[in-house]
Amino acid sequence: MALAGSYSAMGGCTFMIKRAMADSDPNAVSEQHRVIPRREVPLVPPDAIASRALVTVIAIMTFLASLTAGAAIMVNGVSRDWRQDVSREMTIQVKPTAGRNIDQDLRKAEELARETTGVAEVRSFSKAESEKLLEPWLGAGLELGELPVPRMIVLRLSVDTPLDAAQLRASLARLAPGAILDDHKLWIERLGTMSQTMVLVAVVIFFLVLIAMALAVAFATRGAMAGSREVINVLHFVGARDSYIARQFQRHFLLLGLRGGVIGALAAVGAFILASLLSTRWMANFGGDQLEALFGTFSLGAAGYVSTAVIAVAVAVLTGLTSRSVVFRHLQGLE
C-alpha cells in the first residue's frame, strides 16, 4: 500500500511537472506526452479537513463583518433621520418670571410664532403635558404644582420658506422676556458626533475581522504548502514559473473564500431579516423604544444588502490574494 501510494504521488508529481513545463513553454513537452491522458493530481487536496475548517472560519468572519457593516449603515441612517427631524423643528421655552403671568407670555409667544414667516405649524404644550416631559428624569407620580415648570411651544418649520431665527429671538425678548428660542444646533452636533463615532468603531472592528481572516488564510496556505512541499520544490527547481504554482493555490483558496463568504453573507442577511421580524415584539418590551431609536426597524435596505454581497466577494478575493502572496514569498525563499 505504501509503495502504491508513493507511485501514485510520483505519477502525480510527474504530471504536474509536465503541466508546469507546458505552461512555461508549450514546446517543452513532446507530442507523445500531450496525447496520453493522465489524471491531474492537484497540489492542494480539495476536500481536506483543513479546507472545511477554513470555510467555517471564513463564514464566521464574513458573518461578523457583515453584521458590523449592517449595524453601521443602520445607525448612520437613523442618525441622519434624527438630524433631519430635529433640524425641521424649533422650540420656545417659556420660563416663569417674577412679576409676569406665564400664561400671557405663552399666548404672546404662540401668536408671535404663528405670525412669523417660515413657521408652518405651532403647537403649545399644556401645563400637564409640560410636567409629563419631566417624568423620565424626575419619575412619575410627583406633585410638580409648586415647581416653576417651564411651558413648551413646538415650531414646525416650513420646507420652502426660511426662518429668520435672530428676528424671532429679538421679538420674543421684547414681548415675552421669559421665552427662549432653541434651534437644537447643539443636539444636532451631538447626534452627528455620536453617529460618526459609532461608524468609526464599526469600521475599526470590520478591518480587524478582515485582518484576522487574512491571518487564518495565511496559516492555512502554509499548512497546505507543507503537505505538498516535495512537489512544490521539484516544480520550482525544474523551472516551473512561480505564477503557475501560485495560481494553483490561489484558485483553490479563492473557491474556499467564495464558499465561506456566501455562507456568512447569507447568514448575516437571515439574521437581519429575523431581527426585523422580531422588532415589533421587542418594541413592546422594556427598552424597546431605545433599540428602535438606535437601529430603527433593523431593516438594511438596498444599500445594506448590496454591501453584504460586496463583502462576500471581497472576502473571496482577499482569500485568493493572501494565498498567492504567501506562496510567492515561499518560492522566493527557495532561490
Using the structure block, give the residue that is written with the C-alpha cell 483553490.
252
Indicate if 172 and 199 belong to the same structural domain.
no
- Asked whether residue 113 is assigned to any structural domain, the reply reads yes
Q: What is the pLDDT of residue 144?
A: 63
Q: Lowest-confidence range among 173-177, 223-227, 252-256, 322-326?
A: 223-227
91 contacts 157 by C-beta, under 8 angstroms: no
Where among 125, 148, 177 does a domain terminate? 177
- Asked whether residue 67 is assigned to any structural domain, the reply reads yes
What are the angstrom distances between the C-alpha of 111 and each of 153, 155, 168, 171, 311? 11, 12, 12, 11, 55
Indicate if 212 and 282 belong to the same structural domain.
yes
Range of the domain at 101: 96-177
Indicate if 303 and 207 belong to the same structural domain.
yes
Q: What is the pLDDT of residue 77?
A: 80
Q: In which band, very low, low, confident or very high, does the pLDDT at 7 lie, cut at 50, 70 and 90?
A: very low
Residue 261 has pLDDT above 70, yes or no: yes
Name the residue with higher pLDDT: 240 or 193. 193
What are the angstrom distances between the C-alpha of 280 and each of 121, 268, 276, 285, 289? 31, 20, 8, 9, 10
Q: Lowest-confidence range among 27-31, 126-130, 209-213?
A: 27-31
Indicate if 12 and 77 belong to the same structural domain.
no
Indicate if 206 and 315 belong to the same structural domain.
yes
Cell numbers placing 182: 432653541
Where among 115, 147, 177 does a domain terminate? 177
Q: What is the pLDDT of residue 166?
A: 84
Indicate if 141 and 202 belong to the same structural domain.
no
Q: Lowest-confidence range among 231-235, 267-271, 324-328?
A: 231-235
Nearest 5°: the CA angle 276, 283, 266 is 15
Q: What is the pLDDT of residue 73?
A: 85
Indicate if 162 and 285 belong to the same structural domain.
no
Percent of the chain with pLDDT over 90: 10
Kindly state the average pLDDT of the residues 251-272.
90
- Asked whether residue 275 is assigned to any structural domain, the reply reads yes
Indicate if 249 and 308 belong to the same structural domain.
yes
Q: In which band, very low, low, confident or very high, does the pLDDT at 31 lie, cut at 50, 70 and 90?
A: very low
Structural domains counted in the chain: 3
Indicate if 60 and 204 belong to the same structural domain.
yes
Name the residue with higher pLDDT: 175 or 292. 175
Q: In which band, very low, low, confident or very high, does the pLDDT at 249 lie, cut at 50, 70 and 90?
A: confident
- Asked whether residue 255 is assigned to any structural domain, the reply reads yes
- Asked whether residue 183 is assigned to any structural domain, the reply reads no
- Asked whether residue 90 is assigned to any structural domain, the reply reads no
Where among 152, 177, 202 does a domain terminate? 177
Indicate if 103 and 164 belong to the same structural domain.
yes
Indicate if 146 and 215 belong to the same structural domain.
no
Helix (H) or strand (E) holding 90, with range, is strand 89-94
- Asked whether residue 91 is assigned to any structural domain, the reply reads no
Kindly state the average pLDDT of the residues 247-264.
87
Task: Give this prediction's pTM.
Answer: 0.66
Indicate if 23 and 126 belong to the same structural domain.
no
- Nearest residue to 267 via CA among 65, 37, 1: 65
- Asked whether residue 89 is assigned to any structural domain, the reply reads no
- 200: amino acid identity, one letter: L
Q: What is the pLDDT of residue 12?
A: 44
